């Protein structure tokens, strides 16, 4: 009995300690979050240990399945840098008061598509017929943002629609079954399945013309940026070097595919839609005065704004900085 | 009224905490007295011992609430409503000082200079032994070796206090002096500093979107705020200091030139593609380390001593100036305390993910507000309210449209004037689709009702089909052997495994979700009814049989009452499992429901909303269980008395 009690006390005490333990640590190693099945040139640098060499510390890579989880891990102190976190989870994290910073753009890619069931015969020219229809949308993701921007561009009132919260694979199935009329999708496999039974409401060109695009960011915790600006700088430098060295040769693609956990063809397809902005492009266009990064984050912040929330846009502009890009 | 309550939530929380403490102590006292009173005439294991004892329930709930108040920092906010604002000002000092602290062994074990010198020396060591063969001429190799060597010497020069220039020493002393000045200011105390009128009108801790008010609201806070503002400039000064002296500058210039001569110069040996790559990579590596050193941010350990002491003194003074607040922070703010980030002060620790009880109440009240234009409800649906349900809709739901299609004749077309000319079939169709008025009945509406409805309907079907089947399986060889393999085959499959199939078979409406829950309830009901029926004492059945009871009478008056305890336990278990499966079911295609709210709240880490949904589900489950206990008490009063 006594032994039992002691054990309970020990367990409770260790729990309490875990809750209180600070995150103070010297930067002997840096923990980076990334996505599997999201092919980027810097994976070559990752495999070749170029990051470890350039930063002079051990770089530990941990894979995550959603950007929200990246935020959680950063707040818990387990992750210092999140590479290619989605803009949507970053902005919602800021809105919830998370001490994070956007220091660079990782990948720029085409906005997620919304597929309309082929049988309806609706395209961008008669999009108003979508009113009153049922749409599958993974809420609070980049696909949600893209859906709202596209509907706004096509002048469709989304208040008249029935919005169903579905993960992309489920949305694709529901579209095929005809239980929803349109499905907004992210992810290669789901988009392919949805493309079989539907067609995108806006073409690539139309989306570009309407200024609807999306990008992933590199985010760091504020404390890490304050304490180790040199490491953040080296990290971005290596990333940009890797991007610059990218020629999409077979050898490179094979290396990235192996690390991303995909086959070569899928990797090639996925990367064909990616743009990796150079350091100069980022400092002048994305992070400069009236930069696109701030504009996109602000409009996304307004879309996801909680009722009664305060000046969201102002808050977001302050946590974006290009100072670490050289 | 609601606004006033919301603004003063800290005071209500304080009253609640005092009430809870009293309840906690009082219930323990009553409990101990009662236990002592009954201790003599009770036998261990007697079920009567567990009857009553509501005071221990009070004690348990009070303890849970107090733990919640404590770890959510609700107690801190109730007792010290201004503490967060002051701690935020202190956190500002921490943030402003961060660039200097980062160079010192404050949050790490070593000086940043030490780390840099050691780490880069080790890398230089590795570099000098790993020069690739055959890509450099002897001359180039010598030049690179010299570069590596000189970089090493550079580290030594920077680390040696003898070579620190007077200017650098002056700059460091200057920063040290400024830090001492600020320490002096903190020691002098706030004096007649007053918070600005703007600061005093800020909304209180936790009552608006801005979690913690930023501007200092106390005179002590104003002092910390001033110091932190000045510290920003001191930190900037510190960051601009370079450990440059004529010797160091010479060394940097000559090394840079040497590296450049190899980098820019034409290779003096013939190279293939791989060779060129190796050559480039090696020069780059040498240059990279040199570039890290040529900032001259490595300082001798002795040179940093002054600043280190000044910062330590400053931190100690901040701790002194905190006074009682330090104890409050250590005891009432479990976790990392309050952290200042770029735009706001945030709670880091359990206060971040565990919302305060009073905030949960406010979120719940906002959610439960039936006035949707006033910000109530969630995603266009109320939490729990009522609406008029058109009877025609129910008829339309029960009456399939395809029956009308089978009637003879055609549907109407538009006439020559362009107006629709309906036939009798169109009128029938309107009836089948519920487009006629047949009166309305009041009906519950909202997220809670939708979830409740799904669970209740699934349970009803589960009981109606599962109990008879289970009882027959308990008494009939045919039923048992026929259904046993089917039931046992599907029962162990977790409900989530069915989810993808449900979506494509039933679509996104309620029927799929209800079916998923039904499958859970059905299996449990069958098993419990069967166990109950087959567990009937044989002597009872034989006795009633010899007294002339018919099969029907045996089933109704002997087997069913005997199976009832098992069946009711099955109902209790299956309701619990149904609630557990509900979140998954509503994830399939969410439009309404408690599970839907939680799924969406999860994607934005809205912890208050997540906890509200958890509590709603817990309370509904508790409510169900209380009802079931009452039903059990009424239906089978003989349970446990045999």
**CATH code, domain carrying A132:** 3.40.190.10
Q: Does A239 touch chain B (CB under 8 A)?
A: no
- Are residue A63 and residue A201 in the same domain, yes or no? no
| Residue B122 to residue A308: CA distance in whole angstroms | 55
- A21 within some domain: no
* Alpha carbon separation from B328 to A49, B341, B639 (Å, rounded): 46, 22, 53
More confident residue, B342 or A263: A263
More confident residue, A207 or A2: A207
- B640 within some domain: no
Domain boundary among B42, B71, B100: B71
Confidence of residue B449 (pLDDT cuts 50, 70, 90): very high
- Are residue A222 and residue A307 in the same domain, yes or no? yes
- B364 within some domain: no
Domain boundary among B419, B444, B469: B444
Q: Does B591 touch chain A (CB under 8 A)?
A: yes
Query: What is A106-135 written as a DSSP string?
Result: EEEEEPPEEEEEGGG---GGGGGGGTT-EE
- Are residue A147 and residue A232 in the same domain, yes or no? no
Domain boundary among A191, A209, A227: A209
The Cα of B56 is separated from the nearest Cα of chain A by a number of Å equal to 21
| Chain B residues touching residue A166 (CB < 8 angstroms) | 508, 588-590
Domain boundary among A174, A209, A244: A209
- Are residue B403 and residue B348 in the same domain, yes or no? no
- Are residue B45 and residue B186 in the same domain, yes or no? no
What residue numbers bound the domain in which A197 lies? 113-209
- A3 within some domain: no
Confidence of residue A18 (pLDDT cuts 50, 70, 90): very low
Question: What average pLDDT does range B351-360 have in this prediction?
Answer: 87
- B297 within some domain: yes
Question: What average pLDDT does range B146-155 have in this prediction?
Answer: 92
- A17 within some domain: no
Question: What average pLDDT does range A73-83 have in this prediction?
Answer: 90
Residue B306: both structure tokens together: 């002054």
What residue numbers bound the domain in which B197 lies? 78-359
Give the pLDDT confidence score for residue A79 in this predicted structure.
92
Residue B642 clears pLDDT 80, i.e. is over it? no
Contacts of A134 (CB under 8 A, 6+ apart): A161, A162, A164, A179, A180, A181, A182, B508
Number of helices (H), then strands (E), belonging to chain A: the values are 16, 11
Q: Does B210 touch chain A (CB under 8 A)?
A: yes
- Are residue B475 and residue B430 in the same domain, yes or no? no
- A180 within some domain: yes
Average pLDDT in chain B: 87
Q: Does A71 touch chain B (CB under 8 A)?
A: yes
Question: What average pLDDT does range B549-564 have in this prediction?
Answer: 91
Give the pLDDT confidence score for residue A307 in this predicted structure.
55
- Are residue B154 and residue B46 in the same domain, yes or no? no
Q: Going by DSSP bridges, is the β-strand pair B335-340/B345-349 parallel, antiparallel, or unpaired?
A: antiparallel
| Residue B120 to residue A232: CA distance in whole angstroms | 17
DSSP 8-state assignment for residue B618: H
Burial B344-360 (b: 16+ CB within 10 A, else e): bbbbbbbbbbbbbbbbb
| Chain B residues touching residue A53 (CB < 8 angstroms) | 123, 285
- B379 within some domain: no
- B451 within some domain: yes
Percent of chain B with pLDDT over 90: 32
- Are residue B427 and residue B468 in the same domain, yes or no? no
- Are residue A302 and residue A217 in the same domain, yes or no? yes
- Are residue A159 and residue A92 in the same domain, yes or no? no
Q: Going by DSSP bridges, is the β-strand pair A113-117/A198-200 parallel, antiparallel, or unpaired?
A: antiparallel
Give the pLDDT confidence score for residue B184 in this predicted structure.
92
Question: What average pLDDT does range B585-596 have in this prediction?
Answer: 84
- A92–B605: do the CB atoms touch at under 8 Å? yes
Q: Rounded to a whole number, what is the distance in angstroms from the first to the last CA of chain A?
A: 63
- Are residue B20 and residue B58 in the same domain, yes or no? yes
Give the pLDDT confidence score for residue A311 in this predicted structure.
56
- B641 within some domain: no
List the one residue out of B242, B251, B298 whose CA is nearest residue B118: B298
Tallying the residues shown for chain B, one arrives at: 642
- B548 touches B590 (CB < 8 A): no
- B25 within some domain: yes
- Are residue B468 and residue B329 in the same domain, yes or no? no
List the one residue out of B342, B517, B210, B193 whose CA is nearest residue A226: B342
| Residue B600 to residue A138: CA distance in whole angstroms | 9
- A22 within some domain: no
| Residue B404 to residue B346: CA distance in whole angstroms | 63
Give the pLDDT confidence score for residue B641 in this predicted structure.
66
- A68–B605: do the CB atoms touch at under 8 Å? yes
Give the pLDDT confidence score for residue A212 in this predicted structure.
83
* Alpha carbon separation from A199 to A202, A203, A273, B208 (Å, rounded): 9, 9, 18, 44
Give the pLDDT confidence score for residue B311 in this predicted structure.
93
- Are residue B308 and residue B295 in the same domain, yes or no? yes
Q: Does B34 touch chain A (CB under 8 A)?
A: no
Burial B265-284 (b: 16+ CB within 10 A, else e): eeeeeebeeebeebbeebbe
Q: For chains A and B, count residue pairs whose Cβ atoms are closer than 8 Å.
A: 139
Q: Does A56 touch chain B (CB under 8 A)?
A: yes
Give the pLDDT confidence score for residue A1 in this predicted structure.
42
Domain boundary among A209, A236, A253: A209
Domain boundary among B56, B71, B86: B71
Model-level ipTM above the cut of 0.85: no
Cβ neighbours around A257 below 10 Å, total: 20
Residue B131: both structure tokens together: 């020069």
More confident residue, B393 or B227: B227
- Are residue B287 and residue B140 in the same domain, yes or no? yes
- Are residue A189 and residue A93 in the same domain, yes or no? no
Identify the helix (H) or strand (E) that includes residue B84.
helix B83-103
- A307 within some domain: yes
Residue B446 clears pLDDT 50, i.e. is over it? yes
- A140–B603: do the CB atoms touch at under 8 Å? yes
Q: Does B101 touch chain A (CB under 8 A)?
A: yes
Residues facing residue A221 across a β-bridge: A100
- Are residue B435 and residue B466 in the same domain, yes or no? no
Of A308-322, B183-197, B409-423, B491-505, the range with the highest mean pLDDT is B183-197
Residues B270-292: tens digit of each pLDDT: 878 888 888 888 888 888 888 88
- Are residue A218 and residue A314 in the same domain, yes or no? yes
- Are residue B400 and residue B351 in the same domain, yes or no? no
Locus of tokens 């619990």: B576
- Are residue A230 and residue A314 in the same domain, yes or no? yes
- Are residue A48 and residue A97 in the same domain, yes or no? yes
Chain A residue with the nearest C-alpha to that of B292: A230
- A325 within some domain: no
- A7 within some domain: no
- Are residue A141 and residue A184 in the same domain, yes or no? yes
Confidence of residue B526 (pLDDT cuts 50, 70, 90): very high
| Chain A residues touching residue B95 (CB < 8 angstroms) | 226
- Are residue A194 and residue A161 in the same domain, yes or no? yes
- B277 within some domain: yes
- Are residue A47 and residue A192 in the same domain, yes or no? no
Tally of domains in chain B:
4
Residue A16 clears pLDDT 50, i.e. is over it? no
């Amino acid at each position: 009995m006594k032994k039992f009690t002691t054990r309970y006390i020990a367990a409770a005490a260790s729990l309490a300690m875990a809750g209180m333990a600070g995150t103070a640590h010297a930067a002997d190693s840096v923990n980076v979050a990334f996505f599997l099945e999201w092919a980027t040139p810097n994976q070559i640098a990752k495999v070749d240990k170029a990051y470890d060499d350039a930063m002079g510390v051990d770089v530990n890579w941990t894979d995550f399945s959603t950007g929200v989880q990246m935020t959680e891990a950063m707040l818990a102190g387990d992750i210092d840098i999140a590479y290619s976190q989605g803009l949507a989870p970053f902005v919602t994290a800021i809105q919830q008061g998370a001490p994070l910073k956007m220091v660079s753009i990782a990948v720029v890619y085409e906005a997620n598509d919304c597929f309309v069931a082929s049988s309806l015969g609706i395209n961008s020219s008669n999009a108003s017929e979508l009113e009153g229809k049922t749409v599958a949308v993974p809420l609070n993701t980049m696909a949600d943002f893209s859906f709202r921007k596209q509907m706004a561009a096509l002048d469709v009132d989304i208040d008249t629609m029935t919005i169903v919260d579905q993960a992309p694979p489920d949305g694709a199935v529901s579209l095929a079954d005809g239980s929803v009329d349109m499905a907004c999708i992210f992810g290669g496999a789901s988009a392919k399945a949805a493309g079989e039974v539907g067609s995108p409401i806006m073409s690539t060109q139309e989306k570009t013309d309407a200024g609807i695009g999306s990008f992933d960011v590199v985010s760091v915790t504020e404390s890490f940026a304050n304490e180790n600006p040199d490491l953040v700088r080296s990290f971005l430098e290596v990333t940009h070097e890797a991007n610059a060295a990218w020629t999409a040769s077979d050898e490179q693609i094979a290396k990235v595919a192996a690390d991303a956990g995909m086959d070569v063809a899928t990797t090639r397809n996925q990367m064909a839609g990616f743009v990796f902005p150079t350091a100069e492009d980022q400092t002048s266009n994305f992070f400069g005065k009236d930069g696109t990064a701030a504009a996109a984050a602000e409009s996304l912040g307004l879309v996801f704004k909680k009722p009664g929330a305060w000046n969201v846009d102002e808050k977001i502009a302050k946590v974006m900085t290009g100072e670490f890009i050289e | 009224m609601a606004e006033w309550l919301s603004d003063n939530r800290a005071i209500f929380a304080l009253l609640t905490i005092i009430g809870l403490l009293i309840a906690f102590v009082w219930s323990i006292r009553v409990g101990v007295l009662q236990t002592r009173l009954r201790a003599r005439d009770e036998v261990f294991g007697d079920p009567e011992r567990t009857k009553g004892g509501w005071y221990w329930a009070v004690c348990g709930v009070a303890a849970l609430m107090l733990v919640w108040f404590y770890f959510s920092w609700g107690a801190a906010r109730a007792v010290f409503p201004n503490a967060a604002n002051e701690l935020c000002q202190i956190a500002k000092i921490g943030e402003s000082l961060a660039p200097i602290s980062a160079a010192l062994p404050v949050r790490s074990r070593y000086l940043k200079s030490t780390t840099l010198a050691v780490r880069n020396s080790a890398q230089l060591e590795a570099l000098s032994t790993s020069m690739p063969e055959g890509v450099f001429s002897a001359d180039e190799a010598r030049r690179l070796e010299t570069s590596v060597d000189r970089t090493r010497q550079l580290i030594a020069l920077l680390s040696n206090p003898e070579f620190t220039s007077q200017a650098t020493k002056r700059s460091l002393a200057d920063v040290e002096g400024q830090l001492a000045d600020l320490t002096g200011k903190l020691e002098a105390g706030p004096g007649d500093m007053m918070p600005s009128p703007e600061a005093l009108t800020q909304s209180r801790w936790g009552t608006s979107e801005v979690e913690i008010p930023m501007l200092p609201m106390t005179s002590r806070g104003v002092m910390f705020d001033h110091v932190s503002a000045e510290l920003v400039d001191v930190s900037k000064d510190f960051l601009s200091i370079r450990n440059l002296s004529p010797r160091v500058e010479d060394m940097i210039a000559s090394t840079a030139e040497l590296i450049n001569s190899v980098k820019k110069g034409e290779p003096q040996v013939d190279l293939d593609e791989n060779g060129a790559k190796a050559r480039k990579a090696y020069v780059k590596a040498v240059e990279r380390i040199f570039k890290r050193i040529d900032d001259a941010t490595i300082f001798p350990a002795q040179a940093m001593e002054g600043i280190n002491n000044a910062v330590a003194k400053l931190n100690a003074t901040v701790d002194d100036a905190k006074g009682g607040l330090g104890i409050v922070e250590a005891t009432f703010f479990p976790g990392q305390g309050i952290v200042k980030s770029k735009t706001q002060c945030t709670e880091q620790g359990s206060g971040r993910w565990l919302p305060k009880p009073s905030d949960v109440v406010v979120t719940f009240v906002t959610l439960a507000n039936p006035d949707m234009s006033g910000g109530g409800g969630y995603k266009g649906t109320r939490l729990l309210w009522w609406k008029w349900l058109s009877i025609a809709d129910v008829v339309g739901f029960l009456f399939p449209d395809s029956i009308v299609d089978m009637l003879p004749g055609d549907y109407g077309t538009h006439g020559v004037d362009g107006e629709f000319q309906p036939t009798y079939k169109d009128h029938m169709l309107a009836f089948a689709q519920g487009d006629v008025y047949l009166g309305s009945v009041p009906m519950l509406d909202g997220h809670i009702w939708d979830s409740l409805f799904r669970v209740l309907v699934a349970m009803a079907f589960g009981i109606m089909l599962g109990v008879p089947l289970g009882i027959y399986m308990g008494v009939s060889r045919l039923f048992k052997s026929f259904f046993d393999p089917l039931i046992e085959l599907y029962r162990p499959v977790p409900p989530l495994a069915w989810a993808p199939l449900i979506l494509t078979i039933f679509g996104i409406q309620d029927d799929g979700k209800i079916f998923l829950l039904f499958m859970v309830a059905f299996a449990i009901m069958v098993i419990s009814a069967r166990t109950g029926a087959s567990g009937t004492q044989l002597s009872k059945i034989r006795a009633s049989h010899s007294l002339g009871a018919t099969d029907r009478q045996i089933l109704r008056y002997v087997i069913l009452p005997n199976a009832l305890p098992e069946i009711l336990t099955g109902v209790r278990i299956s309701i619990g499992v149904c609630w557990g499966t509900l979140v998954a079911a509503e994830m399939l295609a969410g439009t309404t429901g408690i599970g839907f709210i939680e799924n969406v709240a999860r994607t934005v880490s809205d912890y208050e909303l997540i906890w509200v949904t958890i509590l709603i589900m817990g309370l509904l489950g508790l409510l169900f269980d209380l009802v079931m206990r009452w039903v059990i008490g009424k239906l089978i009063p003989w349970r446990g008395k045999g």
